[in-house]
Amino acid sequence: MTDTAIAVSGLRKTFGDKVVLDGIDLEVPAGTIFSLLGPNGAGKTTTVNLLTTLMKADGGTARVAGHDITAEAKKVRSAIGVTGQFAAVDELLTGQENLQLMVDLSSGVTDGKRVVAELLERFDLVESAKKSASTYSGGMRRKLDLAMTLVGNPRIIFLDEPTTGLDPRSRRTMWSIVRDLVADGVTIFLTTQYLDEADQLADRIAVLDQGRLVAQGTPGELKRLIPGTHVRLRFTTPAELGLATRIFPGSTPDDEALALRVPSDGGTKSLRAVLDRLDEHTLAAEEFSVHTPDLDDVFLALTGHHTEAAL
């Protein structure tokens, strides 16, 4: 596989008169986590379906693991794994039997028993291996589902909202598993309804809205697109707050909290200037903190939707 795991240029898809993807371009370096965000109807699932050869594009090109998704669909499928929004486990089978079934369906697996044993160990499913999958918790099912995806040792994995419905502890377990996969050189293409998940995991993020990519970059780069970074100073007396308000033009006081919001770019030079200004006036803040826009702010600014619209 080349250094670029996924390369997309001008990808288009329509359903009747509705344009679902309007010529998107993106590139995913190998061995990284790429997250695609967007509200419902933005085209996220369509993008995944096209890149995994489940649908055919109406225009543009895309290469996955170096293979054209149209002309070399079979080669694409042999290089990828897909975990959908809902765990695709057979509840009539045990965890071990589910994995063995995937081994039997995978032509490239030569030592099936070893593969099953290693995956059960890796995903902490050894004790429940011979229990029916119907008895598994939501987190266990998601782990089993991902383990089944790894049977053929794919180098690119598409995760479509992998932690939906999981409790916080199970979500963090999945995050740890995803990070371990990337440490082993696997490329992850992630769609998620949780912006904190993209913030925690993704090396790069693309925001899709109404079939178009409206922004791409690292989580930090996207946050810097939105103004609002500021320093929050909290004082012990109204007199201190009043003095601070006068020495920082453009600041916003909160009389009830005895706090002052001072605009800043978040850089060290800007922060040092705030502290130096306080020192010049022999003024000490009880608390000092830096606040920056989060991905929720970015999402709202770029798409006009709150994060709840992406659920």
Distance (Å, rounded) from C-alpha 242 to C-alpha 220? 34
What is the pLDDT of the chain when averaged over all its residues?
A: 91
Rounded average pLDDT over 83-104: 90
pLDDT value, residue 57: 97
117 pLDDT above the threshold of 90: yes
310 pLDDT above the threshold of 60: no
Q: Report the length, in residues, of the chain.
A: 311
Could you give phi then psi for residue 195, rounded to 5 degrees?
A: -70, -30
Q: What are the DSSP E strand ranges found in the chain?
A: 4-15, 18-29, 33-37, 59-64, 67-68, 80-83, 156-160, 187-191, 204-209, 212-217, 230-234, 252-254, 259-263, 287-291
Cα-Cα-Cα-Cα dihedral of 232, 237, 240, 241, to 10°?
A: 40
11 pLDDT above the threshold of 80: yes
Rounded average pLDDT over 102-122: 90
Q: What is the pLDDT of residues 144-201, one digit of tens each?
A: 999 999 998 899 999 988 888 888 888 898 899 999 999 999 999 999 878 899 999 9
- Confidence class for position 62, pLDDT limits 50, 70, 90: very high
**18-29 vs 156-160, strand pairing mode:** unpaired
* Distance separating the N- and C-terminal Cα atoms of the chain: 34
Share of the chain above pLDDT 70, in %: 97
